[in-house]
Amino acid sequence: MSIRLRNVCADCSVPDPRWASVNRGVLICDECCSVHRSLGRHSSQVRHLTHTPWPPTQLQMVQTLYSNGANSIWEHSLLDPTSVMSGKRKANPQDKLLPNKSEFIKAKYQMLAFVHRMPCREDDSNTAKDLSKQLHSSVRTGNLETCLRLLTLGAQANFFHPEKGSTPLHVAAKAGQVLQAELLTVYGADPGAPDSNAKTPIDYAREAGYNDLADRLFEIQYELTDRLAFYLCGRKPDHRIGQHFIVPQLADSSLDLSELAKSAKKKLQSLNNHLFEELAMDVYDEVDRRETDAVWLATQNHSTLVSETTVVPFLPVNPEYSSTRNQGRQKLARFNSHEFATLVIDILSDAKRRQQGSAGLSTQDNLDFMLKNLSVKPFGDSLDNDQPDYDSVASDEDTDQDMPVSKEDRTKSPDSDLTDGAITLQEYMDVKKALTASEAKIQQLMKANGNLSDELRLMQKKASKFDKQSSMPESDYDNAFMDSDMDDSRRGRLRSSGWLAEGSSIPELDNVEMETDPTLPSTEDVIRKTEQITKNIQELLRAAQDGKHESFIPCSERIYVAVTEMAALFPKKPRSETARGSLRLLTSSACRLQAECKKAVPSDGGQSPDMQLVTQQVIQCAYDIAKAAKQLVTITTKETTN
């Protein structure tokens, strides 16, 4: 479903905004969206109006909120004439993104600086309770902006009314208020929560004859696993026929899992439900970040490859989470596309196992158990941080090969994996120490230094001060490509929103133990090859932006040739583990890119590919290549200066 772009940006009044903030109920322009994305999903959940698949009623909910003045909720005090006297003002189209628009948007949505404040009362809990009771009553009507205002002020979407014996979602479902139900679930309302009569909102919608609403609420319960499955294979389970899970498998399973990978899987399975929920929610957020980046890059002007406003390099900090968890969330960005797909598959598999493996419970008890332990907590529901957040998983830095998931390991009894026991305190402390050290390295890696071309020119100037080293003999760093062949047949029940695991494959650029390696090529040679790779990637991104999918394959071939020439500059086995890891990422990503681009061609049977999914994966592979090339430039620059 799409809409005609005839509105103005809620934050700066630029005409024809192309993005929406779902939880804020506003439409925003590209520039302002770049700031929203940097705030994180806990502050603003952004979706493109035409390039992102929308549940029709969710899009209708956002449109209705915006057209009915939802923006006045976030700019309440600015509407007061005295605000002009105080120096407060809204951003305008002529303002610069940094710092003007950025500071205004952060004040508006992160600090809630312009929201109407309730009079201070001694008992805040009573205030929240009163607001929640008002919400419980208001959702039976179609007045969405009133309910959004109440939620903003502190009303709880899952509030259980002690006298009525139900939640606001029960009331909205019984009244057939589809858009109210969409708003409540965006703010975390549980469609499977029972009321005092042991009935769920789904039950009430079905009994009242609102079957479309009942189906939508049922679908929302599987939002997390559906989103993860769609990310990997471009389709979702058909819940109407009883298919509730799709768990893809990696096609190349010729190699068994290493002992390290097996240990990582066991530790994932040994997590208690609370920690597994957190991990799942974080991975969901990372999927959203990657998908949004893909849409962003496909809809922008690619005169440069990377700039301050085109890429959100890792998940922004959520102040509701512990520092350890935030560090772990940010490490997710360092997984390349193959490794991240492996993690997502492991989580989908274990979610299904947990849902179906609650021995001794009835089917309904199983459903209730999973809904209770895997529920969405998008706003203000602080989590218990007394227990460790993550345990380590296998890293590409620990092995010379990518670690594919074997078919045998995926199909064996899950009970056979549960032999590792609970995570020990010492294991947790080791992981926490590693996370802390890695965070500093990530910050250094992701520092905003302008776009990639600027960095290359700067490094080239530095390189000119040194003697040119001769390049080394050709070598083959072409790792075998591990494609994702999709297989389904998973059934179950589950609801939630995002997941994560600790570990990484992308080497650090500032490895303090790295020795000088005289066999590495000169920085000038590496920069020259990197510039060619960058040029070819820009051409590919422009083709994606213009919808010229027929150009994907020739573009990928040119990128592959440029990557092969760059890899040939390096020796067979560089002394630096950092260099070896970067070369592995560079060449394997180029192979994956070729395979993804080939999917843009219709199959022999005439079936058209899902171009949105193909474009998303193509852009991710291109980003992995650019990042690896940047790492190699940095590595050779350090070697030269040493």
> What is the CB neighbour count within 10 angstroms for residue 411?
9
**Residue 8 falls inside a structural domain:** no
Report pLDDT for 634.
84
The pLDDT assigned to 297 comes to 83
Q: Which two tokens stand for residue 254?
A: 């010729």
pLDDT of 558: 93
For residues 506-535, average pLDDT: 67
Arithmetic mean of pLDDT, 350-378: 51
In the listed set 189, 220, 251, which residue is the last one of a domain according to the structure? 220
Q: What is the CATH number of the domain that holds 167?
A: 1.25.40.20
What is the pLDDT at residue 531? 87
Both 626 and 546 in a single domain? yes
Residue 227: which pLDDT band, with cuts at 50, 70 and 90? very high
Together in a domain, 142 and 200: yes
pLDDT in tens, 372-383: 444 343 443 333
- CATH code of the domain in which 623 resides: 1.20.120.330
Shared domain for 406 and 323, answered yes or no, is yes
Residue 372 belongs to a domain = yes
Residue 295 backbone phi and psi in degrees, to 5:
-65, -40
Radius of gyration of the chain from its Cα atoms, rounded to whole angstroms: 25
98 versus 422: the higher-pLDDT residue is 98
469 in the same domain as 416:
no
Please check whether residue 11 lies inside any domain of the structure.
no
User: Considering the chain, what percentage of its residues have pLDDT values greater than 70?
Assistant: 67
Quote the CA–CA distance of 633 and 558 in Å, as a whole number. Answer: 20
Specify whether the CB–CB gap between 223 and 62 falls below 8 A. Answer: no
Q: Are both 263 and 333 inside the same structural domain?
A: yes
pLDDT, residue 3, reads 47
259 and 198, same structural domain? no
The owner of tokens 């189906």 is 215
Per-residue confidence (pLDDT) for residue 140, from 0 to 100: 96
295: in domain: yes
Task: Give the domain-ending residue among 412, 445, 478.
Answer: 445
The answer to whether residue 497 sits within a structural domain is no
**Residue 554 placed within a domain:** yes
Determine if the peptide bond prior to 56 is cis (ω within 30°): no
3-state class (DSSP) for residue 139: coil
> Which range, of 179-193, 314-328, 341-355, 466-480, averages the lowest pLDDT?
466-480
Residue 55 is predicted with a pLDDT of: 95
For residues 200 and 279, membership in a common domain is answered with no
Least confident of 40-49, 247-256, 521-530, 535-544: 247-256
pLDDT confidence of 519, banded at 50, 70, 90?
confident
If asked whether residues 264 and 392 sit together in one domain, one would say yes
Asked whether the beta carbons of 169 and 193 are under 8 A apart, the reply is yes
| 171 and 306 together in one domain | no
- Rounded to 10 degrees, the C-alpha dihedral 505/507/513/515 comes to 120
70 and 172, same domain (yes or no): no
* pLDDT, averaged across the chain: 75
Give the count of domains, the chain: 4
pLDDT at residue 87, rounded to an integer: 62
Whether 29 is in a domain gets the answer: yes
User: What single DSSP character describes residue 383?
Assistant: P
- 472 or 306, which is more confident: 306
Shared domain for 104 and 130, answered yes or no, is: no
Q: What's the rounded mean pLDDT across residues 21-33?
A: 96
Same domain (yes/no): 573, 464: yes
- Token pair 């179950």 in the structure block, residue: 492
In a domain? residue 2: no
**Rounded average pLDDT over 223-250:** 90
Please say which residue of 191, 220, 249 terminates a domain. Answer: 220
Residues 261, 501 contacting (CB under 8 angstroms): no
Structural domain span for residue 635:
452-488+507-641
- Read off the CATH number of the domain in which 94 is found: 1.10.220.150
pLDDT in tens, 41-52: 999 999 999 999
Q: What is the DSSP string of 322-370?
A: -HHHHHHHHHGGGS-HHHHHHHHHHHHHHHHHHHH--TT--HHHHHHHH
- Which pLDDT score is estimated for 252? 52
| Residue 572 pLDDT level (bands cut at 50, 70, 90) | confident
| Parallel/antiparallel/unpaired status of strands 46-48 and 19-21 | antiparallel
